[in-house]
Structure 1
Amino acid sequence: MSSSSPIGPIAPRRRHAWMRPRPLPRPLTRSVSVLVLIAWVATMAVLVNRSYLQASVNLATDLSRYGSAAEWRGVYYRGAKIGFTVRQVVPTNDGFRLEEDGQLEMTLLGATTAARIRTTAHVDDTFALRSFEFSLDPGTGPISVHGRVERPQPVGSRGDDRWRLVVDVTTGGVTRTEERALATPPLLTINLGRRLAREGLVPGDRHEWIVFDPATLSNVPVVVQIGEREVVRVGNTRMPAFRVDMRFAGLQTASWVTDTGEVVREESPLGILTLREPADRATIMAVPGRVQTDLLEAAAVVPVMTQRIDDPRGVRRLRVRLEGADLSSADLDGVGQTIDGDIIEITRPETPAHGSPDPDAGRYLAPEPLIESDDPAIQAEAALAVGGFVGARARAEALTRYVNGLLDKKPTVGFPSAREVLRTKIGDCNEHTALYVAMARALGIPTRIAAGLVYMRGAFYYHAWPEVYLDEGDEGASWWSVEPTLNQFPADGTHLRLARGGLERQLVILPLIGRLRMTVLDLEFAPDSTSVLLATSPVALESSAFPIPTLPRDTDGWCGCAGQPAP
């Protein structure tokens, strides 16, 4: 950590050597990185008000437009400088234009990524949102979002007295328009401070607003609680500011806001901090290599276990106790996973279950903004992938192998569009999942996104995979977890689902990072795996059983993600 850090040294957490997860193979590590990255960047959306990433714009040219009244802030992760932002408010004829630029440099899972930041929001003289512009280019093709807010129409003219948010999403040169009806006008995080200042910062006041997140195309409720005025240290000076606590997607953040709406300090439980700084100090970057280690360690859930899993592909049944999370969501039950209190059991299916058809399955055939199953290129590629295969199960498995072999395993910073993934043919678990879901729906196979944890080399890591509905008529109908990223059909028994749905649903994972505690209660391996008892070691494990798989391995010591599809 740099000696100039404003936070001071952080004591390392002690962990016995036997408890540390073993290093993942590099390609596999990259494939599971995106959920951690989404959680991390989504947190930045709250703290840094990120709404625009565009790597092609010249930073120096953009920053030249900021005057002496601009607000500069440095961004730190656990004491390490990782970026900066600059913001200004420009008066217009009918309100204000809010502008923000910046840069983040992240060392994540072996890959260093620099992300440009820009936000443009048009508000009225009360700082209510009127329109916004958003674009994100993760290096695999730009996704642009333009939104405008329409006021309620008088009853009788359109029969709708609600606010409406009209959103145009453009990927690959094709634009799709969506409309969202809202009870109240939406906000972007960039105008929250000014909105609070206008309404008056009164200790004890509580506000509930709807914030639109253009990155996930979702409306998220935000609860804001105004605290007492405190004296905050900012660099070498001290200044009065109100503490403002905000809950966003289950994540609690704290900000210190002045009477004029300037945010001088923000922090989150994930170790991210922003501080107001002079421009010359804010733009100094220093990204130490240990940031990578911190993110991996913070994201991994290292279980307490008396059996060792040498290869998760051999796990047929897993029973765990999960603590530190709200387990009341219906997403945790079903598709080979059952829950009883804080006990979760996962069973890998061998054949489709003989059950009645799911009447809700049909809704997982429709295209979505980033799951473009109606795109002609996706439809043609899907037909090519399953050519010659008959039956839902055979076609779903063929598609799993095809998508695994089609994409080059590389980390991306962003949110995947199936159309762009097919064009670039690169990505990690979210790209594999988005493309698989779109292609399966194009084939008439209901498919949805699951997100949660998967076991790899000593720990559980955050991950995403598809769930596919297999209706084989008299042979049964059921949902299966499949794994195009790791080339598994069905997915192994260590896939623990925490949420279903797109990025807006995956945000529920945010508050779980760093809090989950897991104890493995029982393991059952497939018949083609052999349990081997090891002598008692200094780590005090009573026994250790691990399967000796008969499946082929690639040269990297891992199947699927690192190389070609396994037979």
Structure 2
Amino acid sequence: MFLRPLSRAVTRPVSILILLAWIAVMGVLVNRSYIQASSASLATDLARYGSAAEWRGVYYRGEKIGFTVSQTVPKDDGFELQEDGRLQMSLLGATTAATIHTVARVDSDFVLRSFEFSLDPGTGPVAVRGQVAGRHLTLSVTTSSGTREEDRELAEPPALSLNLSRRLANGGLKAGARYEWSVFDPATLRNAPVIVSVGKREIVRGAGVPIPAFRVEMDVAGLHTTSWVTDTGEVVREESPMGLITVRESADSARRMAVTRRLQTDMLQAAAVVPVMRQRIDEPRDVRRLRVRLTGADLSGADLEGAGQHVAGDVIEMQDPRSLQAGPADRDLARYLAPEAFIESDAPEIRAEADIAVRGVDGTRARAERLTRYVNAILEKKPTMSLPSAREVLRTKVGDCNEHTALYVAMARALGIPARIAVGLVYIHGAFYYHAWPEVYLDEGSSRGLWLPVDPTLNEFPADGTHLRLARGGLDKQTVILPLIGRLKMRVLDLELTPNSTPILVGKQPVDLGPLAIPIPKRQVCCVCATPSALPGSR
């Protein structure tokens, strides 16, 4: 089937959704902080927008959390599409903010030639630039730590979603029309297939006045969004999962922001999966076996099998990773040793830091444990609305579970230890919260080995038995989680505990941490755990 570029009218929320969803669901595991995105650079970016620019407010369950502004600038050989925005939210008393900047250059037929995308959480921007020649894409990823370049051949020519709603309108919006398109998302560095359906014309309010617009439904990566688009391609309103809405507003109204206590509470409630269970888990390290039924959402895209998890229909059984036994060696380890765009395991500073982390420690298992303790110790726990780059995390030494995981995976690969990113749920005081952690491969010799989940954020080696993996990989793989947020239901069918027993490894003593020049903390109680009465299901 011929794939066409997707209208900005229905795809612009995708990148924002990924970022918003992750900061919302990961914030429960970090300490209080305040990260202020650079207002000076944002003011410079906004100065370019003229009277014809389209401003929109971004809302979460009725509360303003940001704005975007976009415009199309004619050029001699086509157009330059520009968009800037600011997002801000409060989590557990911590305010985190980020600025987003996108520029796309297209020809007179709106065929993509190049683009720039940057996200700045206040610690320094991560910028993605792309040059397009047919199906060939040249990418560069730049952070304060440097630039990384790579070339990709895509299955179809990449298209950027920014401000292409007018191209859709040029073809004539017709009720009942249905399209299958493809769009390139610079936040995930991947093309994604989408299905778009045009509904009837409706009256919707934008900038305080009623406006006739077509209702446009979109499905991408399991997400369903709704937009209202005028005949001229103006997006009046967009509604996305988790209660996210963008609305056409005046410039003054769009830029007026305030994050309230009610917004903070709503985000926590939306993130939590409160299980139906007969027995409370007081200490996750005591969980030997946990069997749960997941309902309420489509799990067909989830990666549920393996590394201590077994699936039978909608029932998932998890065993304590300390009891995992080696099996036949994994023959596909090369890709878990290779560097990636945001896992820069070949960077000199990553290699040097990895060597420091395991100095004096021999053996893969012992090195993997030492690395867990080391990453936990050197990173300050703060919520960050960013695209986690291992080099940038090492530079700033700040982050939540995404940053801990990215740095660990990069350092492990630098040491020749296969590692990958896992995302899913972890149990904290009566509820399961979305989380990220690494899985590391331990070669046991004689062509046998095992993938072991570890958690540098919570300082656990291995991770406790309440870690329920839903996906493996980077942001492009993690999008399967977004449709689950606020929908997933859990019932605990069986729970087996080992009271008063929290060893580090079965049959092994913890690695001697004496030679480290930095203090290694015990598992820290996060700010959520410090106020259990505020959490659902806690007592």
Q: What TM bracket, shorter-length normalisation?
A: 0.7 to 0.9
Which has the larger displacement, 130-139 or 500-509?
130-139
Identical pairs, percent = 66
Of residues 212, 217, 239, the one that matches 1:245 is: 217
What are the residue-to-residue correspondences of 1:53-132 with 2, within 5 Å? 55=38, 57-132=40-115
Alignment partner of 2:327: what SS?
coil
Q: Structure 1 CA distance, aligned partners of 2:278 and 2:458?
A: 26
Contact 1:130–1:149, Cα closer than 8 Å, also in 2:
yes
* Shift, 1:455, TM fit: 0.2
Residue 559 of structure 1 aligns to which amino acid in structure 2?
R
TM-score (norm 2): 0.85
Residue 98 of structure 1 aligns to which amino acid in structure 2?
L
Residue 101 of structure 1 aligns to which amino acid in structure 2?
D
Residue 523 of structure 2 aligns to which amino acid in structure 1?
C
What are the residue-to-residue correspondences of 1:220-369 with 2, within 5 Å? 220-329=192-301, 331-350=303-322, 353-369=325-341
CA distances 1:68-117 after superposition (whole Å, capped 9, x unpaired): 22212222211112222222111110111111223222112321123223
Structure 1 partner of 2:517:
none
Structure showing greater radius of gyration is 1
CA distances 1:283-313 after superposition (whole Å, capped 9, x unpaired): 2223221111101100100000000011212
1:523 aligns with 2:506: no
Contact 1:193–1:261, Cα closer than 8 Å, also in 2:
yes
Residue 312 of structure 1 aligns to which amino acid in structure 2?
P
Q: Structure 2 CA distance, aligned partners of 1:173 and 1:392?
A: 29
Tell me how many residue pairs correspond in the alignment.
484
* Shift, 1:332, TM fit: 0.3
Contact 1:354–1:475, Cα closer than 8 Å, also in 2:
no
Sort the Cα spacing of 1:131 and 1:272 in 2 relative to 1 into closer, same or farther, 3 A: same
Structure 1 partner of 2:523:
559
CA distances 1:255-295 after superposition (whole Å, capped 9, x unpaired): 11111111011111311111112222222223221111101
Sort the Cα spacing of 1:243 and 1:502 in 2 relative to 1 into closer, same or farther, 3 A: same
Structure 2 partner of 1:449:
421
Structure 2 partner of 1:414:
386
Q: Structure 2 CA distance, aligned partners of 1:282 and 1:83?
A: 8
Contact 1:35–1:464, Cα closer than 8 Å, also in 2:
no
Of residues 168, 176, 180, the one that matches 1:196 is: 168
Structure 2 partner of 1:468:
440
Q: Structure 1 CA distance, aligned partners of 2:119 and 2:484?
A: 26
Residue 143 of structure 1 aligns to which amino acid in structure 2?
V
* Shift, 1:380, TM fit: 1.5
* Shift, 1:253, TM fit: 0.6
Structure 1 partner of 2:7:
none
Sort the Cα spacing of 1:59 and 1:428 in 2 relative to 1 into closer, same or farther, 3 A: closer
CA RMSD of aligned residues (A): 2.5
CA distances 1:137-171 after superposition (whole Å, capped 9, x unpaired): 223333211112102xxxxxxxxxxx222211123
What are the residue-to-residue correspondences of 1:166-177 with 2, within 5 Å? 166-177=138-149
Of residues 209, 212, 220, the one that matches 2:181 is: 209
Alignment partner of 2:198: what SS?
strand
> Any stretches of 5+ residues in structure 1 without a counterpart?
1-33, 43-52, 152-162, 531-550, 552-556
Sort the Cα spacing of 1:519 and 1:41 in 2 relative to 1 into closer, same or farther, 3 A: closer
Which has the larger displacement, 58-67 or 141-150?
58-67
Sort the Cα spacing of 1:180 and 1:204 in 2 relative to 1 into closer, same or farther, 3 A: farther
1:164 aligns with 2:136: yes
Q: Structure 2 CA distance, aligned partners of 1:560 and 1:290?
A: 27
Contact 2:326–2:444, Cα closer than 8 Å, also in 1:
no
CA distances 1:212-252 after superposition (whole Å, capped 9, x unpaired): 11122222222211111222222442222111111122111
Alignment partner of 2:58: what SS?
strand
Residue 81 of structure 1 aligns to which amino acid in structure 2?
K
Q: Structure 1 CA distance, aligned partners of 2:471 and 2:67?
A: 32
Alignment partner of 1:331: what SS?
coil
Q: Structure 2 CA distance, aligned partners of 1:562 and 1:233?
A: 42
* Shift, 1:446, TM fit: 0.6
1:184 aligns with 2:151: no
1:142 aligns with 2:125: yes
Q: Structure 2 CA distance, aligned partners of 1:197 and 1:82?
A: 29
CA distances 1:377-422 after superposition (whole Å, capped 9, x unpaired): 1111111211222221111111111111111111111011111111
Structure 1 partner of 2:9:
none
Sort the Cα spacing of 1:494 and 1:41 in 2 relative to 1 into closer, same or farther, 3 A: closer
Alignment partner of 1:261: what SS?
coil
What are the residue-to-residue correspondences of 1:369-408 with 2, within 5 Å? 369-408=341-380
* Shift, 1:490, TM fit: 0.9
Q: Structure 2 CA distance, aligned partners of 1:330 and 1:75?
A: 29
Structure 2 partner of 1:504:
476
Q: Structure 1 CA distance, aligned partners of 2:365 and 2:237?
A: 53
Q: Structure 2 CA distance, aligned partners of 1:194 and 1:169?
A: 29
* Shift, 1:56, TM fit: 5.6
Q: Structure 1 CA distance, aligned partners of 2:388 and 2:326?
A: 35
Sort the Cα spacing of 1:269 and 1:363 in 2 relative to 1 into closer, same or farther, 3 A: closer
Alignment partner of 2:492: what SS?
strand
* Shift, 1:495, TM fit: 0.3
Q: Structure 2 CA distance, aligned partners of 1:36 and 1:277?
A: 22
Which has the larger displacement, 217-226 or 234-243?
234-243
Alignment partner of 2:437: what SS?
strand
Residue 368 of structure 1 aligns to which amino acid in structure 2?
E
Q: Structure 1 CA distance, aligned partners of 2:326 and 2:84?
A: 55
Q: Structure 2 CA distance, aligned partners of 1:524 and 1:124?
A: 62
Q: Structure 2 CA distance, aligned partners of 1:122 and 1:426?
A: 34
CA distances 1:453-512 after superposition (whole Å, capped 9, x unpaired): 000011000000000111121595111111111111111110000000011111110000
Q: Structure 2 CA distance, aligned partners of 1:35 and 1:215?
A: 8
Q: Structure 1 CA distance, aligned partners of 2:207 and 2:143?
A: 42
Alignment partner of 1:194: what SS?
helix
Residue 108 of structure 1 aligns to which amino acid in structure 2?
L
Contact 1:35–1:463, Cα closer than 8 Å, also in 2:
no
Which has the larger displacement, 393-402 or 106-115?
106-115
* Shift, 1:35, TM fit: 8.5
